[in-house]
Amino acid sequence: MSASVESSGATGAAPVGQPVAAVGTSRGRLVARRFLRNWRALLGLTVIVLLFALAYLGPLVNRWGYDELDYSAFLTAPSADHWFGTTQVGADVFAQTMRGLQKSLVIGLLVGFISTGLAAVVGAAAGYFGGWVDRALMWLVDLLLVLPSFLIIAILSPGFRGRTWLVFVVLLAAFGWMITARIVRGMTLSLREREFVKAARFMGVPPWKIIFRHIVPNMSSLLIIDATITVGSAILAETGLSFFGFGVQPPDVSLGSLIAAGTDSALTYPWLFGFSAGFLVLAVLSVNLVGDGLRDALDSGSQRGTGGAR
Amino acid sequence: MVRFLARRLVNYVALCLIATFLAYSLAALTFDPLANFAERTPPPPAAVIEAKRAELRLDEPVPERFAGWLGDVVRGDFGTTVTGVPISDQLFSRIGVSLRLFLVGTVLGVAAGVVVGVASAVRQYRFSDHVATFLSFLVLSMPVFVLAQLLKFGGLQLNEAAGTTILYFQGEVTPSFQGSALAELLDRLQHLVLPTLAIALGQIAYYSRYQRSAMLDVLGSDFLRTAQAKGLTRRRALFTHGLRTALIPMATLFAFGFGLLVTGGVFTERIFGWFGMGDWLVYGVQQQDTNIVAIVTLFIAVLVLISGWLSDVLYAALDPRIRIR
C-alpha cells in the first residue's frame, strides 16, 4: 500500500510543481493521458461509439423497417434476409432492435446529464446555504425518495400514452436526481468548512460562484462517476418501465418492450430475447466502464496515478 | 441523539403521509377505471356504469376521496378493487411474500456487498479485485428482468444436470403442497433461491462498488497512516479506524439502495410469478385501480421510512459528530 500512496502522491504533486499558468492545461492533459492508458475505458468508449453508429446506420442498410411486417416469414431464425430473425407477426428483429437501441441510448444520455446537473445544483445549494434552503430542499428529496421513481412514472403512464417520448425523458430526469443530491449535500457540508472555501467567502466571492468554482469541482470525481452511473441506470429505468408497457409506447419500441415481448419464448426462440438483451447489457456495461475510467483518470488523490501503482 | 432520532422519525411519518397522498392524487387524477369496464362486451348499461362511478366516488374531489380512504384504512378497512373484491383478501399474504423477498435480499446484499467492497479495496488491483469488479460491473449493467431470465436458464440447466427438480422458478410454493412442515419449508426454500439471487446480486454489486470506493478514499487518508505510525497493526488500523469511517457513506446509501430493491422486487415478483406487492402494483396500474396503487404505495412508503430511519440510526452510531449536534 505504501508504494501506491507514494506514487499517487507524486502524481498529485506534479501539477503543483509546475508554473501556475500551466496548471489548467497540464491537468487536462494528465487526465486525458490517464484515461487513454486505461484499456477498459477506451474499449467502453469505442463500443458506445460503435453502438451509436450501428443504431443509426444499421437501419439504412437493412431492407426492413421497424414497423414493417413480412407475411412470408413468421418466427424464422436469423438468416441472410432477416439478420436477427423475425417475430411471431413477421416483424424484422434487427430493425426493431436498432430502433430500440436508438431510443434507449438517447434517453439514457439525456436523463443522465440532466439529472446529475440537477443533483449537483440542488445538493450543493442545500449544503452550502444551510438553514431553511437546506431543510426545504432535503425535505423535497426525502419526499421524492419515499416514492420510488418507478412507482410515480408507472402511475403517470396512462397519462402520457400517445404523447412524445420526451415527456418520458423529463419524468425520468425529474425523479432520478435525489440520491446523488443527498450525497452531494453531505460532501458540501464538509467542504464548506475547508480553508479554501472559507478564504473565498471572506474575500467576498458570491455564494453561487463559490459553489460552481470551489465546491462542485471538488466533487467532480463523484459527479462523473455518478453521471455515468445515472446514464446507465436511466437506460435500465427506461427499459424497465417499457418492459411493463409503462414507458415508450407502441408502435414505437425500446429495448425494454422488445425484451418483454421476447421473454416468454426466450428458451425456445432465443433470437427474440437474446439480441435486445445482449445489446442492452453491452450498452450499459460500456457506459459504466467509461465512468470508471474517467474516475481513475480524474481522481489523482487516491487512484491509479501515473501507473506506478501497477 | 435520541432527540435527533425522534425528530427524524416524526419527519418521516409526515413524509409517508404526504407521499401516499401524492401517489393517491396522481393515481386518482390519471386513472380512468371505468374505461376498461365500459369496454366490456356486451357493454354494461349506462345505469350500471353510473352506479359504479358513485360506488368508486369518482366524482368527488380528490382530497375528500383521500381523506375518506385514509380514515377507512386507519379503521382497518382497505376498500375494494374496481371489480369489487375486498383489498384485505389478498393484502396480508402479499405483504408476507414481499417482505420475505426484501428482507433476505437486503441482509444478504448489504452484508456481502460490504465484505466484497472492503476486500476489493484492500487488495486493489489484485486478481480478486479484478474479478469482483468485473462481476459487479456485469450485474449492474444487467436489468433484473434479464438477470432473472438468465437465472431461470441456469436453474433449468442445473435441474437437467441433476435429473430432478432442485430449483423452482414459478411461484413461491408448490400449489396445494402436501407434507410435513419441514418438507414445506424445504419446498419454499427451493422456490426462494432464484428470486432471492435475482434481487440480491444487484444489491451486492451496488454496495460493493460504493464500499470499495469509500474504502479506497479512507486507505489513502492521513489518519490511517497516523494510526499505523502510533503502532497499530495494519489490520487493526483498517478495521477499527478505516472501516468505520468508510461505512458512513454506506449508511446514507442504505436507505436509498432500498428503493432500488423495491423496484427490483417488482420485476422479480412478476417474472417468478410471486403474488407480492410489486406484482399487485403492476396489476393495479394496468387495471387503473386507485385503491390497489394507494395501498402498495403506503406499504412501500412505510418500508422506505423504516430503512431511512435505520440509516439515521446507523449514521448516528458511526459518526460522533452527528450525535453531539
Instruction: Tell me the residues of chain B between 20 and 59 that have a Cβ less than 8 Å away from chain A.
Output: 22-23, 26-27, 29-32
Burial label for B322, CB within 10 Å (0-12, 13-18, 19+), is middle
Chain B nearest CA to A132, separation (Å): 15
Residue closest to B303 by CA, chosen among B269, B252, B250, B254: B254
Chain B nearest CA to A146, separation (Å): 5
CA B308/CA B156 separation, integer angstroms: 38
Percentage, residues of chain A above pLDDT 90: 17
Q: Which residues of A touch B199 (CB under 8 A)?
A: none
Residue B131 is predicted with a pLDDT of 92
Which of A29-38, A48-57, A135-144, B2-11 shows the highest mean pLDDT?
A48-57
A293 close to A38: Cβ distance less than 8 angstroms: yes
> pTM score, two decimals?
0.80
Q: Which residues of B touch A302 (CB under 8 A)?
A: 216-217, 219-220
Nearest by CB: B137 against A155, A263, A285:
A285
pLDDT at B234 over 80: yes
Q: Residue A12 is placed in which grid cell?
A: 498529485
Residue A112 CB contacts under 8 Å (≥ 6 apart), including other chains: A227, A228, A230, A231, A232, A234
pLDDT at A310 over 50: no
- Delimit the domains of chain A by residue range: 47-69+80-307
Percentage, residues of chain B above pLDDT 90: 13
pLDDT grade for B39, boundaries at 50, 70 and 90: confident
Q: In angstroms, what CA-CA distances link A144 with A112, A118, A148, A183, B171?
A: 18, 14, 7, 15, 32
Mean pLDDT (chain B) is 85
Write a three-state SS string for B14-26: HHHHHHHHHHHHH
Mean pLDDT (chain A) is 80
The residue among A292 and B300 whose pLDDT is bigger is B300
B125 to chain A: closest CA residue: A310
pLDDT grade for A304, boundaries at 50, 70 and 90: very low
User: B57-97 pLDDT, tens per residue?
Assistant: 777 788 888 888 888 888 888 888 877 788 888 888 999 98
Supply angle C-alpha A90, A95, A97, rounded to 5. Answer: 105
User: A75-87 pLDDT, tens per residue?
Assistant: 777 877 777 888 8
Residue A13 is predicted with a pLDDT of 40
Please indicate if any CB of chain A lies within 8 Å of the CB of B118: no
The residue among B79 and A202 whose pLDDT is bigger is A202
Instruction: Tell me the residues of chain B between 181 and 210 that have a Cβ less than 8 Å away from chain A.
Output: none
B15 to chain A: closest CA residue: A143
A158/B288 CB distance under 8 A: yes
Find the DSSP H helices in A62-164: 93-129, 131-146, 149-156
Q: Which residues of B touch A310 (CB under 8 A)?
A: 125
pLDDT at A9 over 50: no
A140 close to A119: Cβ distance less than 8 angstroms: no
Task: Tell me whether 0.90 is exceeded by the ipTM.
Answer: no
How many angstroms separate the first and last alpha carbons of chain A?
11
Q: Residue A185 is placed in which grid cell?
A: 449535500
B33 to chain A: closest CA residue: A158
B155 close to B194: Cβ distance less than 8 angstroms: yes
CA A182/CA A137 separation, integer angstroms: 10
B219/A302 CB distance under 8 A: yes
B249/A186 CB distance under 8 A: yes
Q: Which residues of B touch A281 (CB under 8 A)?
A: 138, 141-142, 146
Write a three-state SS string for chain B: CHHHHHHHHHHHHHHHHHHHHHHHHHHHHHCCHHHHHHCCCCCCCHHHHHHHHHHCCCCCCHHHHHHHHHHHHHCCCCCECCCCCECHHHHHHHHHHHHHHHHHHHHHHHHHHHHHHHHHHHCCCCHHHHHHHHHHHHHHCCCHHHHHHHHHHHHHHHHHHHCCCCCCCCCCCCCCCCCCHHHHHHHHHHHHHHHHHHHHHHHHHHHHHHHHHHHHHHHCCHHHHHHHHCCCCHHHHHHHHHHHHHHHHHHHHHHHHHHHHHHHHHHHHHHHCCCCHHHHHHHHHHHCCHHHHHHHHHHHHHHHHHHHHHHHHHHHHHCHHHHHC
Residue A25 is predicted with a pLDDT of 63
Chain B nearest CA to A129, separation (Å): 18
User: A105-130 pLDDT, tens per residue?
Assistant: 999 999 998 999 999 999 999 999 98
Sign, CA torsion A285/B307/A182/A296:
negative
pLDDT at B228 over 80: yes
B153/A1 CB distance under 8 A: no
Residue A299 is predicted with a pLDDT of 63
pLDDT grade for B200, boundaries at 50, 70 and 90: very high
Best mutation target, B139, B145, B304, to test chain A (most A CBs within 10 A): B145
CA A292/CA B172 separation, integer angstroms: 38
Distance from chain centroid for Cα B187: 23
Crossing angle, helix B144-162 and helix B244-272, to 10 degrees?
70
A-B contacts (CB, under 8 Å): 144
CATH architecture of A47-69+80-307: Orthogonal Bundle (1.10)
Q: Residue A42 is placed in which grid cell?
A: 477506451
Residue A43 CB contacts under 8 Å (≥ 6 apart), including other chains: A286, A289
A1/B285 CB distance under 8 A: no
Instruction: Work out the average pLDDT over B262-284.
Output: 89
Nearest by CB: B146 against A4, A148, A277:
A277
A226 close to A118: Cβ distance less than 8 angstroms: no
CA B159/CA B167 separation, integer angstroms: 7
Half-sphere exposure of A107 (CA within 13 A, CB side): 34
Nearest by CB: A155 against B124, B267, B293:
B293
- Residues pairing with A92 in the sheet: A86
A265 to chain B: closest CA residue: B149
CA A163/CA A31 separation, integer angstroms: 42
Nearest by CB: B219 against A1, A147, A266:
A1
Nearest by CB: B217 against A139, A302, A309:
A302
pLDDT at A305 over 70: no
Residue A115 is predicted with a pLDDT of 92
A237 to chain B: closest CA residue: B143
Instruction: Work out the average pLDDT over A255-267.
Output: 84
Percentage, residues of chain B above pLDDT 70: 98
Q: Which contacts (CB < 8 Å, 24+ apart) does range A10-19 have? A: A10/A305, A10/A306, A10/A308, A11/A300, A11/A305, A11/A306, A12/A300, A12/A301, A14/A306
Residue A21 is predicted with a pLDDT of 47
Please indicate if any CB of chain A lies within 8 Å of the CB of B77: no
Residue closest to A68 by CA, chosen among A251, A243, A259, A247: A251
User: A212-252 pLDDT, tens per residue?
Assistant: 888 888 887 788 878 887 888 889 888 988 888 888 887 78
Q: Which residues of A touch B149 (CB under 8 A)?
A: 263, 266, 273, 277
As a residue count, chain A comes to 310
B35 to chain A: closest CA residue: A158
Q: Residue A269 is placed in which grid cell?
A: 426462440
Instruction: Tell me the residues of chain B between 227 and 286 that have a Cβ less than 8 Å away from chain A.
Output: 234, 249, 252-253, 255-256, 259, 262-263, 266-267, 270-271, 281-282, 285-286
Q: Which residues of B touch A287 (CB under 8 A)?
A: 141
- Residues pairing with A86 in the sheet: A92
Q: Residue B40 is placed in which grid cell?
A: 366490456
**Position B147, amino acid:** L
Please give the torsion angle defined by the CA atoms of residues B8, A115, A254 and A151, in that order, rounded to the nearest 10 degrees: 20
A301 to chain B: closest CA residue: B220
pLDDT at B119 over 50: yes
Residue B320 is predicted with a pLDDT of 79
Chain A nearest CA to B79, separation (Å): 19
pLDDT at B1 over 90: no
User: A10-59 pLDDT, tens per residue?
Assistant: 333 444 444 444 455 677 788 788 888 888 889 999 999 999 999 898 88
Chain B nearest CA to A281, separation (Å): 5
Instruction: Work out the average pLDDT over A140-150.
Output: 80
Please indicate if any CB of chain A lies within 8 Å of the CB of B124: yes
Chain B nearest CA to A253, separation (Å): 17
**Residue whose cell numbers read 470508471:** A292
Residue A90 DSSP class: -
